[in-house]
Amino acid sequence: MAASIAYIGGHLQYGVNFCKGQSYKQAVWVPGVIFNGCLQRELSWSCGVSKFLQIRQCNLFRSPSNKKSKSFRTLATSAYLRDGTTKYFDFAVIGSGVAGLRYALEVAKHGSVAVITKAEPHESNTNYAQGGVSAVLCPSDSIESHMQDTIVAGAYLCDEETVKIVCTEGPDRIRELIAMGASFDHGEDGNLHLAREGGHSHHRIVHAADMTGREIERALLEAVINDPNISVFKHHFAIDLLTCQDGLDTVCHGVDALNTETQEVVRFISKVTLLASGGAGHIYPSTTNPLVATGDGMAMAHRAQAVISNMEFVQFHPTALADEGLPIKPKKTRENAFLITEAVRGDGGILYNLSMERFMPLYDGRAELAPRDVVARSIDDQLKKRNENYVLLDISHKPREKILSHFPNISNECLQHGLDITRQPIPVVPAAHYMCGGVRAGLQGETNVHGLYVAGEVACTGLHGANRLASNSLLEALVFARRAVQPSIDHMKSSNLDLRASDLWTLPLVPKSLGSDVMHKILRTTKEVRKELQSVMWKYVGIVRSTRRLQEAEQKIGELEAKWETYLFEHGWQQTMVAHEACEMRNLFCCAKLVLNSALARHESRGLHYMIDFPHLEESKRLPTVIFPSSGTTSTWSSRQLHQHSTC
Amino acid sequence: MAKASLSRLFSSLSEHSIAKPSFTGFRSDSVARSASNSTTRFVCSSAQQSQLNHGGKVDEEDREALKENLESKNKEEGEDGDEGDHVNKETGEVGGPKGPEPTRYGDWERNGRCYDF
């Protein structure tokens, strides 16, 4: 993938208005390091146009009125093309986590909304975010304090204006959630109970028992399902954004999706698109993320010429339960990792490598009580040096009753797999948890692609910088989903999109013609390639990095991708063909390379990004890493859109 | 050095002032679960005391005993939840997690599993 990576010099300001082409260009060309320097180039392909358009429902797509009436009826028009269906909406939302749903509920007051989600609607990282959400809700707390904590955690790479906005607007976003029916823990006096998490200097974590994410998701989903203007399309896998060139601008007009239950392609034409597709944990073999988190949104956005930022900052947790070390292996591969709490080490747990050597004192005088990222790097280093797959966390020297009463969840889980933690050490390995980087967003969630907005984990807003502060991710999603609403409405009202837009792009093709034998082979190979990619990412683009390792990763991933694509195309796969697993694989390749290239570009260690050959912070490098769209000349299937590009 | 990091890891113990009227304050003492006493009694009566035993195999009897014990405790907690919201005597939190404060070591833990950090 030919990509240009640059440091935006001068300042960390994310407030560039991407809608003004000229000023955006100026921000791009501020002196800095340009690697493989090239800007976006349009691909001018001739369009293939379907001639068999039949409009079944003749409700014309009328321009929205200015009334914010609750009785506004959904005017979703469907047109049936020969090989698929086209649907028309004012707003398309990709992803059904907190960001997507929050946004949908607001914009639904102004037009029709499609929420497109690849599995069941509740299946998202939000649902697993079971800690809390941070906000300044206590009189003795302050916005400045929350800001400071965020910036310190972010290793001073945060965008200050973004941080200020999120910390300031957070409390109102929480109050709205409560008004919507989310039920947070409170005291007997009826006031919100606020906890204090690591890195926060005040009590400011709002939570719901310990299922905050799930509770927020539940409340939002209920409201969405009851909203007559919102249509939820579950089991619809988004394939590529529908974009075209309008002079120098790239404009987004919707998204193609595959209904994975019926194996039918659905084209969504929309005036505005919100990308809220979450994270990419599954580029690594061990992750806390559910299976849906394969970086689809980051990949689609990159292919659609959107700018990507700070992908090198991947947050790992040091001690996830390593299934490989359990006497009885789980029957099915665990989908999302079981994290062993800090409290085990806090209560006296000791880390050993597989030779039963206690290694933490070699790395830090605080041994097991060193900060989390020090522990993560130490474990990673041990695993790489010794070529092993997990280490051991031993709490068995502590009183049995205390272990069982404090950690019943771990005890039970391990017991089911033949391990008694009161007698034996627990096998642990770091797991990928959160992507701090993503699609570069302005202060209103806007991207450099007109009509495309982003919110949530898929976005890089400048809030997290080089490392995310605990409980700030749900907050970021809520704030940016809300901020993207007005610009979206404005864009929608000024849009002159019409029914014929659907003709501009070739339709994706379901590979029925290949036959089931070939498909079976392709699926099997894809599964193996996925495991191989995850293994390479963990070994070469893990927690402790080096230029040499990253370059090896570049070579290996390049070869693996070429091998996979060759296999596909040798078996009759065509450029526009789509299948769930193959599309996920191309997104995983795309994201893996984004992470890799970003890591290669940062010649310092900061926050989550640690380089052996650049082990210190460099003030001159305190800048975001930015990846511009690829030139497209030597691109792979994963790095270009399926459909033929066109001019508007 | 260990102490410095301990203070970083631990939730605020003493310097946080008692809550002003409108918000519930947080008190740091961890509360032993009421259930844990019965757990202790049950475990002591049915299984050997644990020693430092890295290579110990789980024998069938112990495994069953532990399993039964955990199941009965989970059931107990479930019943508590069904009857009405639990009130944390230390913090005044209603319907919150029983047992030690989830954020006492900086991350968000429940029963040993970490959910956020």
- Residue-wise pLDDT for B33-71, tens only, equals 333 333 333 222 233 333 333 334 445 555 555 455 444
| Residues of chain B positioned with their CB less than 8 A from the CB of A199 | 106
- Are B12 and A196 in contact (CB < 8 Å)? yes
**Which candidate, B83, B71, B46, places its Cα nearest to that of B61?**
B46
**Tally of CA atoms within 13 A in the half-sphere of B74 that contains its CB:** 12
- Please tell me the distance in Å from A156's CA to the nearest CA on chain B: 19
pLDDT tens-digit series, residues B64-88: 554 554 444 444 444 333 345 677 7
**Tally of CA atoms within 13 A in the half-sphere of B104 that contains its CB:** 20
pLDDT at A335 (0 to 100): 75
- The structure tokens listed for A16 are 């560039």
- Are B56 and A424 in contact (CB < 8 Å)? yes
pLDDT at A631 (0 to 100): 66
A interface mutation test: which of B10, B70, B108 has the most A CBs within 10 A? B108
Helices A143-153 and A160-179: crossing angle, nearest 10°? 120
- Picking from B52, B111, B116, the nearest residue to A408 by CB comes out as B111
- Please tell me the distance in Å from A96's CA to the nearest CA on chain B: 20
Report the alpha-carbon distance of residue A203 to residue A199 in Å, rounded. Answer: 11
Report the alpha-carbon distance of residue A151 to residue A140 in Å, rounded. Answer: 20
- Are A404 and B69 in contact (CB < 8 Å)? yes
- Spell A114-141 as b/e; 16+ CB within 10 A means b: bbbbbbebbbbbbbbbbbbbbbbbbeeb
Largest pairwise CA distance in chain A:
75
**C-alpha A177: how far from its chain's center?**
22
Instruction: Give mean pLDDT in consecutive 10-residue pieces for chain A, a chain of 648 residues.
Output: 45 33 27 28 24 28 36 47 77 95 96 95 76 89 96 96 98 89 82 88 82 80 94 97 92 96 96 97 94 97 97 96 94 85 92 97 94 94 96 96 91 94 97 97 98 98 96 94 97 84 88 95 98 97 97 98 97 96 98 98 97 96 93 79 76
- Are A371 and B5 in contact (CB < 8 Å)? yes
What whole-number percentage of chain B has pLDDT above 90? 0
- The structure tokens listed for A396 are 């068995």
The CB density around residue A295, as the number of other CB atoms within 10 Å, is 31
Measured at the CA of A409, the angle between CA B57 and CA A372, to 5 degrees, comes to 95
pLDDT at A218 (0 to 100): 86
| Residues of chain B positioned with their CB less than 8 A from the CB of A404 | 36, 39, 43, 66, 69-70
Q: Does B98 touch chain A (CB under 8 A)?
A: no
Cβ atoms of residues A103 and A480 within 8 Å: no
- CB-based contacts of A26: which residues, under 8 Å, 6+ apart? none
pLDDT at A208 (0 to 100): 76
| Residues of chain A positioned with their CB less than 8 A from the CB of B31 | none
- Are B95 and A185 in contact (CB < 8 Å)? yes
Report the alpha-carbon distance of residue A640 to residue A42 in Å, rounded. Answer: 12
pLDDT at B19 (0 to 100): 31
State the alpha helices, DSSP H only, in B10-93.
34-46, 60-83
| Residues of chain B positioned with their CB less than 8 A from the CB of A400 | 43, 47, 49-50
pLDDT at B95 (0 to 100): 72
Q: What single letter denotes the amino acid at residue A96?
A: S
The CB density around residue B29, as the number of other CB atoms within 10 Å, is 12
| Residues of chain A positioned with their CB less than 8 A from the CB of B26 | 194-196, 203
Radius of gyration of chain A (CA): 24
- CB-based contacts of A8: which residues, under 8 Å, 6+ apart? A27, A28, A30, A32, A623, A624, A626
- The structure tokens listed for A490 are 């404005």
Q: Does B31 touch chain A (CB under 8 A)?
A: no
Mean pLDDT for the stretch of residues B93-115: 81
- Please tell me the distance in Å from A179's CA to the nearest CA on chain B: 19
Residues 63-92 of B with CB under 8 A from A: 63, 66-67, 69-70, 73-74, 87, 91-92
Report the alpha-carbon distance of residue B51 to residue A284 in Å, rounded. Answer: 37
**Which candidate, B9, B109, B105, B116, places its Cα nearest to that of A471?**
B116
Q: In what order do the strands lie in the sheet with A459-460?
A: A34-35, A4-7, A625-628, A308-309, A438-440, A459-460
pLDDT at B5 (0 to 100): 37
ipTM: 0.75
pLDDT at A537 (0 to 100): 98
pLDDT band at B116 (very low <50, low <70, confident <90, very high): confident
- Are A420 and B66 in contact (CB < 8 Å)? yes
Q: Model-level pTM greater than 0.90? A: no
